[in-house]
Amino acid sequence: MARLDFANARARARGSRLAGARALRELLARPSLAGRVELVRTLPAGAAIQAEPGPEPLAAVERGLREGLRREALALAQAVEGCRPRRLLLAFLSLDEAAAVKAVLRGVARGAALDRTLAAAPPAPGLSEETLRLAAASSTLDGAVEALAAAGSPVAAAAREALPRVAEEGLLPLELAADRAALARAVAACRRAGEDGAVLARHVADRADARNAETLLALAGARPTIEPWVAGGRRWDGAALGALAGAGAEAARAAVARAFGLAARDLATPWAADRALARACTAALAREARSRPLSLAVPLAYLAARRDEIRRLALALRGAELGLPPDELLDLVEA
């Protein structure tokens, strides 16, 4: 195994500084937006937030949170000794490129506000904030895909091949192409990469299963008109997924809950299901980090936890500004 001593020590040290329940309670106790923003700026996660957020402080804070995670992820990759583990860490980070591309395409298709679209796009090393903003400002899906592909995104290039199918089939072909490209790239990086590659390969399989689980739940018992599954999972193959899709919504929900160790109530809504499946993947990485403390699982688990941290902070800020009760919001943020 390549040496990961420095990167793992760095990840452990920073993991102890993640904003937990106490910081969230203090944040929600602040009576004004300015006070809440100032508190977030004092946290390690807020290091990239500008001192003067400007006329749209929430959007500026979310940009700063995303930029801070992007910088930290790339710095952590540089701290990894050896080309192979660094390539694996970058492959892990590139999995979020598909999520960022999909967020932009959904926003453009719906005509959503620019900052709302960007807030839904996780940081991805291959896509700068400027590139995402340019794509999200496009008036057409074709323009958005071209802007992303022109910036060198192989995920967007794969989605471009599915553009002719949008008129009849909607966004699904684009999203499937993006997910399949990102997962295939990560799988390729894992080959002949020893224990660290096996760690990432298991996570990639979890992500593929989570993607297929989301599709199962979205179908709600309806039979798909196209093949909607991504390859690479370890819980179901295509035949099993097809059978579950035809078995009805309740059977699919029960199967997903059982496969991921969740309660069926955790999957009651698309938002809740998305969060529950993401938590299950993050928890699996955390277990890998505990059982393999010298492996790449340690920085992977930390970066997954950092991604959850900025989601919680952004949700807390948005919810507080909408006037949601602090106790109710805290339950929602920690869900």
Count of CB atoms within 10 A of residue 319's CB?
18
pLDDT at 1: 43
Count of CB atoms within 10 A of residue 5's CB?
10
What's the pLDDT tens digit per position in 119-176?
A: 889 888 888 889 999 999 999 999 999 999 999 999 999 999 999 999 988 999 999 9
Pick the CATH number of 1-80+297-335 from 1.10.3720.10, 1.20.1440.230, 3.40.50.150, 1.10.132.50: 1.10.132.50
Average the pLDDT over 236-256 and give the result: 92
Residue 225: is its pLDDT beyond 80? no
Secondary structure (DSSP) of 204-259:
HHHHHHHHHHHHHHHHTTPPPSS----S--SS--HHHHHHHHTS-HHHHHHHHHHH
Q: To the nearest whole percent, how much of the chain has pLDDT over 70?
A: 99
pLDDT at 2: 47
What's the pLDDT tens digit per position in 274-295?
A: 999 999 999 999 999 999 999 9
Pick the CATH number of 83-191 from 2.60.60.20, 1.20.1690.10, 3.40.50.300, 3.30.70.1450: 1.20.1690.10
The domains of the chain are located at 1-80+297-335, 83-191, 196-295
Are 164 and 217 within 8 A, CB to CB?
Answer: no
Are 180 and 230 within 8 A, CB to CB?
Answer: yes
In 30-171, which ranges are continuous DSSP H helix?
Answer: 33-42, 57-79, 83-110, 114-119, 129-136, 141-150, 154-160, 166-169
Q: Torsion angle, CA of 325/330/332/335, rounded to 10 degrees?
A: -170
| Average pLDDT over the chain, rounded to an integer | 91
What's the pLDDT tens digit per position in 263-272?
A: 999 998 888 8
Are 139 and 146 within 8 A, CB to CB?
Answer: no
Q: Who contacts 285 (Cβ-Cβ below 8 Å, separation ≥6)?
A: 203, 297, 300, 301, 304
What's the pLDDT tens digit per position in 9-30?
A: 999 999 999 998 899 999 999 9
Determine phi and psi for 52, rounding to 5 degrees.
-115, 95
pLDDT at 324: 84
Q: Which helix (H) or strand (E) is 1 found in, with range? A: none
